[in-house]
Amino acid sequence: MKHVLAALLGASVLAGAAPALAQDAPLRPDQAEFRGLYKELVETNTTVSNGSCTLAAERMAARLKAAGFKDDQLTLFFTSEHPKDGGLVAIMPGTSKKLKPMLLLAHIDVVEARREDWVRDPFTLIEEDGYFYARGAADDKAQAAVWTDTLIRFAKDGYKPKRTIKLALTCGEETSGAFNGAEWLARNKRDLIDAAYALNEGGGGRTDGKGKLQVQSILVGEKAYQDFVLTTTNPGGHSSQPVPSNAIYQMSAALAKVSQFEFPVEFNDTTRAFFTKAGALRPDAAGKAMQALAANPADKAAEAVVNQDKMLHSMLRTTCVATLIDGGHAQNALPQRVTANVNCRMFPGRTADETQAMLAKAIGDDGVKIEQKVKDKPIAKSPPLDPALVGPMEALVAKHFPGVPVIPTMSTGATDGVYLGAVGIPTYGVPGIYGDPDGNGAHGLNERMGVKSLYQGRDYLYDLVKVLSAK
């Protein structure tokens, strides 16, 4: 999952943005050690097709054990049905018996990558022109490596947190319908990951694409992901004698209605804060419209302006879009069956059942069957804008990235945080590591992570975990 602010910042100028980052410096010893961990994790193939998250988890567990973690503090898990989709839970006990633990979450599976499509080998970490290139270099092995490294540094330094710190490295985030480690832990090992809150991916910073850091964000809530399968059927017949009733035409009409249907505007505390604060940073008409719409969601003129930005449009509502279609059985026959996939990203609090009902009403054809591809997916729940968490995040951004604004935001995509939120663990995407407006190739070709971004983000996140675990 990556990320949400690129469109917002694409052409706008933020007053007071931080100057370009400092030039490269020799690696500190701790950075060099971290680079080795990051390299090992990135170069362990964890694709769903032929990789192994279990192996990656075992390698991270070995590093934690070498740093001083005991066997009873490390839990490697997998199921017999999915032996390569395992993960790791590591626990560093706190000194307080009153404070609930904090949880560090990261997924270690990655999107598929074919060598023939990439400029470089996607499963070899290559440092070039200020970037690390590899599949997972950004999404999400940068975060996973930083969390693991943070606990290793704490253990080696003899740090004793007041609040117990838990780490969960899980598989399955990148493949809908696959075995998902975060979901499995939430349903089967809730006590193992019990926490007051979790820190996750989805936040982070954005540059102007030229090295100048413009903003840091805190992810406070996300949409829920659901695919709906639409099906039309027909007796078919010989193509030499066509009739009006045609499964392809029926599906075409249904998808045309889906394309024209607009879910209503919605706000929650996070998106209202985002539109207000981010809008104030934009000197253009869209910035004024963002503020106006946050103040009055019924302002249609402001909505029309905001809707021109696809990211902002998606933050305002549930969205559904056709992504796959398949139909017919022969070139010279009338189609008997057509299916289409409609992918929906549901606003926090909205259920799959009510989204399905709204799609059915928009289509208005009982002959179009609609089914949820994955049953019993949890409802997205937005956590509170908790000052006890947001405050330290903002203070540390001011320390590590002076002059850079911090904006709470809601993801229009989805992370594994939805599974933790469903069992009462509020989950936040942290600032720190930052990327470029083009998304750094995450899920695409030649994925990359800025070298400075990774090392600076690592220092920020180390301090954040230390501050939060001390209170």
**What is the CB-side half-sphere exposure of residue 206 using CA atoms within 13 A?**
26
Gap between the Cα atoms of 396 and 31, Å rounded: 20
Q: Which two tokens stand for residue 188?
A: 């089967």
Looking at the DSSP bridge assignments, the partners of residue 166 are 91, 103
Q: What is the CATH number of the domain that holds 359?
A: 3.30.70.360
Any domain includes 62: yes
Q: 84 and 170 in one domain?
A: yes
Burial class of residue 116, CB neighbours in 10 A (0-12, 13-18, 19+):
exposed
Q: How far apart are CA 106 and CA 199, in angstroms?
A: 9
Q: Are residues 427 and 345 in the same domain?
A: no
Dmax over CA atoms of the chain, in Å, equals: 81
- Print the domain residue range for 130: 6-222+380-469
Close Cβ partners of 231 (under 8 Å, ≥ 6 residues apart): 337, 338, 339, 368, 369, 371
Residue where the block lists tokens 């019990």: 194
Give pLDDT, residue 320: 98
**Cβ contact 237:334 at 8 Å:** yes
CB 359 within 8 A of CB 320: yes
In the block, tokens 């505007």 appear at 265
List C-alpha distances in Å: 271 to 34, 135, 219, 254, 291.
35, 31, 10, 31, 11
List of E strands, 288-405: 319-327, 333-334, 337-346, 369-372
Q: Tell me how far apart the alpha carbons of residues 104 and 46 are, in angstroms, rounded to a whole number.
A: 20
Residue 291 lies inside a defined structural domain of this protein: no
Q: Which of the listed residues 355, 372, 389 is the one where a domain comes to its end?
A: 372
Same domain, 360 and 430: no
Each residue's pLDDT expressed in tens, for the chain with a length of 471 residues: 544 554 454 444 344 444 444 446 889 999 999 999 999 999 999 999 999 999 999 999 999 999 999 999 999 999 999 999 999 999 999 999 999 999 999 999 999 999 999 999 999 999 999 999 999 999 999 999 999 999 999 999 999 999 999 999 999 999 988 899 999 999 999 999 999 999 999 999 999 999 899 999 999 999 999 999 999 999 999 999 999 999 999 999 999 999 999 999 999 999 999 999 999 999 999 999 999 999 999 999 999 999 999 999 999 999 999 999 999 999 999 999 999 999 999 999 999 999 999 999 999 999 999 999 988 889 998 999 999 999 999 999 999 999 999 999 999 988 999 999 999 999 999 999 999 999 999 999 999 999 999 999 999 999 999 999 999
Residue 441 is part of a domain; what is its CATH number? 3.40.630.10
Per-residue tokens: 131:
């970037």
**Residues 235 and 353 reside in one and the same domain:** yes
The answer to whether residue 292 sits within a structural domain is no
Q: What single-letter amino acid sits at 161? A: P
User: Residue 333 phi/psi, 5° resolution?
Assistant: -135, 150
Is residue 114 in some structural domain?
yes
